[in-house]
A = this chain, B = another copy of it.
Amino acid sequence: MQPIVDFILELEKLKAVTRKTRPLGQDRFENSAEHSWQIALLAASLAPHAAPGTDLSRVVAMLLVHDIGEIDTGDVLVYAATDWTAQKAAEAAAVRRIFGLLPEAQAAAFLALWQEFEDHATPEARFAHAADRAMPVLLNLANRGQSWRENGIGHAQVVRRVGPPIQAGCPALWDYLEARLDAAQREGWFGAE
């Protein structure tokens, strides 16, 4: 039992990893733990818009573990000009360390979920990515582009970076967002041209 307890207490640290979005009505930054909860429910709520045969329970499980590597690396804004290969390698090392606290079978199960998400190759991984990418867009659409304005992000950057994965995983969601993003541009909610 102790290895499971050690793992769960290690997860406490994800409650201290902050993102660039602020929860609606709060001044603080969102953390990656509460974000992971919310996108799991976003994916579950979007079930009727998943490709036929998609295993929603695996999507949910992937989303619950996909950010755990940030305990060691921190969260990086999806629009950042960073070395994404190095960032992903660091996250892979982090999840091997953290899942490695668990008994071997459970560590392997979580690592397989994490890798499936990273590989973008299954319908479940693509659907999970759509939920993950859509959530901060939905928050920005609800708070007049807070993180776009605070970080100098433009409409074209958003469309280019999150459009393809959302379109690939959940086309109906992208149809909705594309129209809302155009309206947001007319409202001036972006931080760059």
Q: Which residues of A contact B (CB under 8 A)?
A: 1-2, 4-5, 7-9, 11-16, 23-26, 30-31, 33-34, 36-38, 40-42, 44-49, 57, 60-61, 64-65, 102-103, 105-106, 109-110, 135, 138-139, 142, 172-173, 175-176
Contact = CB atoms under 8 A, between A and B. Distances in A.
Contacts of A15: 23, 26, 30, 34, 38
A103 B48 CA distance: 10
Contact of A142 (B7, B9, B23, B33): B9
20 contacts: A1-B49, A1-B172, A1-B175, A8-B38, A8-B45, A8-B135, A12-B23, A12-B25, A12-B139, A15-B26, A15-B34, A31-B34, A33-B33, A33-B37, A34-B37, A41-B64, A44-B110, A48-B103, A48-B105, A57-B60
Contacts of A138: 5, 8-9
A71 to B, nearest CB: 12
Looking at chain A's contact residues, the main secondary structure is helix
A31 B30 CA distance: 11
Contacts of A110: 44
A16 B23 contact: yes
A111 B3 CA distance: 34
Contacts of A102: 45
Contacts of A172: 1
Contact of A36 (B14, B23, B37, B65): B37
